[in-house]
Amino acid sequence: MSGVVFRVAPGGSLSGTLRVPGDKSISHRSIMLGAIADGVTRVEGFLEGEDALATLQAFRSMGVEIEGPQAGRVVIHGVGRDGLRPPQGELYLGNSGTSMRLLAGLLAGQPFDSLLTGDESLSRRPMKRVTEPLARMGARIDAAEGGTAPLRIHGGSRLTGIDYPMPVASAQVKSCLLLAGLYAEGRTCVTEPAPTRDHTERMLEAFGYPLHRDGASVCVEGGGRLTATDIHVPADISSAAFFLVGASIAPGSELLLEHVGINPTRDGVIHILRQMGAHIELLAPRQVGGEPVADLRVRHAPLHGIEIDPALVPLAIDEFPALFVAAACAEGRTVLRGAEELRVKESDRIAVMADGLRRLGITAEPTADGIVIEGGALRGGRVESHGDHRIAMSFAMAALRADGEVVIDDCANVNTSFPGFAGLAAGAGLAIQVSDDG
Ligand code: S3P
């Protein structure tokens, strides 16, 4: 399958001032919480990518009036905690794991039935991690064989709060259970084995919903109400990551990335790159709507391989494809362990990155829970993104250091998280051309 193809001429550098699109995780949550709040929620900086739009469309299908998005502005006319209406047909969530897992929690306690479906990739991803704890709360959900989507959620179940120690460090599982907890009787507590992104917790508080945090646990009491608020979505650090890596590896580069979210549960990419020798400065750190934000200045710097601290894995979980490109351009060996979750993302990111890096002449050995990459000279070649947006954008940046053209197949899904990527990257100096080979 080729579909949308990126062709990136080798070499060059990145420079200028950029603002990458809004944070995907925060954009999803703004729609979900705005929809079930009392009053009108105004969102700015909303990510107009396919994943967040799938969430938006799902709530429209459940009777929520939503204006926009227009230039990142969305106005959500909240229907209140019990105001959602039965959707007409299935809720198709495309490629979006966040939509499916969080909605499963939110819909488990509704009085109506719903059917959650997704594309081929989403229909392969593990859903038992949410359906099992939801079933313990009293939800009735039928999945396909193997526990995957489509998920048929039977309405009218009475949910009861549970105390759930999560077996995987997953913000999606945590958020799913907290959203179900809003509709459950009593208290729902989730304990994480390692810190994961806390946007749901921050946003629930911004909507006036009390949370109880105690160490690695977070709890909600069911039955409360959310009050509409204004939300400012910062630029997505996961999208900025491609530019942090690109500017770090390409001699002569200097970029200013504006208004990037630097929530400490998301900033692992900055720590890992700095440990590799990257030159990244945080300018004008500030708080915007309950989330920390800064402008990031990044300059080219020679990188060296490191052993990545497994504690940083959940804090950089979406940035590893880009970090693997940094490792390929670094001097020496980079070792990643404790990252088996990468195998169940939009693609098996360990296998797919190892395969692509090898095609570009790099020694990359996948392991069960990580990868070992020997830095070296990148050559040109043709790689397959397997429909995974972050793989496609990572290999586009690799061309900055390749000695020949890098061609990347199957790039349409870049629109799930980063509409306009090619244009923004070209403006900064990446010699990228996009074609649609049907
Ligand atoms: C997300 C959490 C992460 C991340 C995904 C978005 C979220 O998944 O990979 O892109 O918005 O909660 P896990 O929590 O399953 O690791």
Res. 163: pLDDT tops 70: yes
Candidate of 23, 31, 93, 98 to mutate for ligand 1, largest count of ligand atoms within 8 Å of Cβ: 98
End-to-end CA distance of the chain: 9
In this predicted structure, the answer to whether residue 113 has a pLDDT above a threshold of 60 is yes
Mean pLDDT to the nearest integer, 119-134: 98
- Please determine, for residue 2, whether its predicted confidence score (pLDDT) is greater than 90: no
Domains of the chain and any CATH numbers: 4-22+234-436 (3.65.10.10), 24-232 (3.65.10.10)
High-pLDDT (> 70) share of the chain, %: 99
Among 101, 317, 418, the mutation site with the greatest number of ligand 1 atoms within 8 A of its Cβ is 317
Q: Which residues of 330-346 are buried (b: 16+ CB within 10 A; e: fewer)?
A: beebbebbbbebbbebb
What is the DSSP annotation of 232-251? EPPBPHHHHHHHHHHHHHST
> Could you tell me the two tokens for 400?
């900055």
Runs of H (alpha helix) within 62-214: 97-108, 128-137, 171-182, 199-206
User: In the structure, what pLDDT confidence band is assigned to residue 289 with cuts at 50, 70 and 90?
Assistant: confident
**Which atom of ligand 1 is least distant from the CA of 28?**
11
What's the rounded mean pLDDT across residues 201-212? 98
Tell me the CA distances in angstroms from 298 to 26, 58, 108, 189, 251, one per residue in order. 24, 38, 44, 40, 12
* Residues framing ligand 1 (Cβ under 6 A): 25, 98, 170-172, 175, 196-197, 317-318, 341
CA distances from 368 to 32, 251, 345 (A): 35, 34, 15
Asked if the model's pLDDT at residue 261 lies above 80, the reply is yes
Ligand 1 atom index nearest CA of 174: 14
Q: Is the pLDDT of residue 410 over 70?
A: yes
pLDDT at res. 438: 62
Q: Is pTM, for the whole model, over 0.95? A: yes
Neighbouring residues of 166: CB distance < 8 A, sequence distance ≥ 6: 173, 174, 190, 191, 192, 193
Mean pLDDT for the chain overall: 98
The tokens 């039955």 sit on which residue? 223
If pLDDT is split at 50, 70 and 90, which confidence band does 307 have?
Answer: very high
- The catalytic site residues sit at 318
What pLDDT, in 10s, does the model give residues 345-386? 999 999 999 999 999 999 999 999 999 999 999 999 999 999
Q: What is the mean pLDDT of residues 180-188?
A: 98
